[in-house]
Amino acid sequence: MNMLTSFRSELLKSKRTASLYVCLFAAAIIPLLLVFDTATPQAIEALSADPWNLHFKAGIEFMGTLILPMFIILICTLLPQIEYRNNTWKQLMSSPQPFAHIFFSKFLTVHLLVLLFFTAYNLLMLLSALVVNYRITAIEFFDHSIDWHQLIVANFRTYSACLAIISIQFWAGMRFKNAVTPIAIGFGLWILAAVLVIEVKWEHVDKFPFAYPILMIYSKYSAVISLILWKSIAYAVFFSGLAYLDFRLRKVKAA
């Protein structure tokens, strides 16, 4: 029994669930908004200088701070809910698979969906740039080039900054039968992070994982981005380990 078999089984059961639709819908929000954001002369002028890179920069800032955390909260809840809603945990746990394979194949599926979100988002951003180029002739996208390195780094940073959130939310999604609880926890912590960064300006906000995607766009933290990303990875490892331990030690309720 290898991990790939368990992973394949996970992918098969997510067929026709809301996960894929949520992924595509979430990925389309920012590209769609940016098509209409270029309506004012000021926006057109600002974008004309370096259209591709400014378009992608504006997109990833909104995506990383607003859409991606919400998408993670939803997807980490929806995926374990497949088992809760269908009452299939007992069947799954009594199948001949190591518990680690069951747990980590679900965890990998979440990451796969996040990566799918990134792919769809970037493709839709390209498409949205083409639409802007067609609609507003003053912006000459094809007279400029894309800084691919900058684009890849920005995507990598955004993904890494969310690793801790993925692990925490995945734990909550696996832990609670009621879908409202992990969503409430996620949104609560996300709003708290925004308040701590924007309103309170808490000096230790770099220790709060839900704040990391927001810190990525703050110039104040640009010098310590690498450190923040390492913290995100460390938190992700810690909370994934904790979530696995909790999963292993939990009793499957029997009447």
Contact call for residue 150 and another protein (CB under 8 A): no
Compare residues 98 and 188 and give the one whose CB is closer to another protein.
98
Contact call for residue 177 and another protein (CB under 8 A): no
Contact call for residue 95 and another protein (CB under 8 A): yes
Compare residues 8 and 177 and give the one whose CB is closer to another protein.
8
Compare residues 94 and 137 and give the one whose CB is closer to another protein.
94
Among 199, 204, 220, 254, binds another protein (CB under 8 A): 254
Phi-psi sector, 87: left (phi>0), alpha (psi -120 to 50), beta: left
Among 96, 137, 149, 220, binds another protein (CB under 8 A): 96
Contact call for residue 100 and another protein (CB under 8 A): no
Contact call for residue 113 and another protein (CB under 8 A): no
Contact call for residue 5 and another protein (CB under 8 A): yes
CB atoms within 10 A of CB 153: 12
How far apart (Å, rounded) are the C-alpha atoms in residues 208 and 242? 17
How far apart (Å, rounded) are the C-alpha atoms in residues 18 and 25? 10
Among 98, 115, 153, 245, binds another protein (CB under 8 A): 98
Q: What is the DSSP letter of 203?
A: T
Compare residues 149 and 251 and give the one whose CB is closer to another protein.
251
Contact (Cβ atoms closer than 8 angstroms) between residue 161 and residue 215: yes
CB of 87 to another protein, least distance (A): 6
Among 85, 135, 177, 207, binds another protein (CB under 8 A): 85
Among 21, 25, 88, 198, binds another protein (CB under 8 A): 88
Residues 6+ apart with CB under 8 A from 217: 61, 64, 65
10 Å CB burial of residue 160 (0-12, 13-18, 19+) is: buried
* Complete DSSP assignment for 14-41: TTTSHHHHHHHHHHHHHHHHHHHHTTSH
Residues that bind another protein (CB under 8 A): 1, 5-6, 8-9, 12-13, 15-17, 82, 85-88, 90-98, 251-252, 254-255
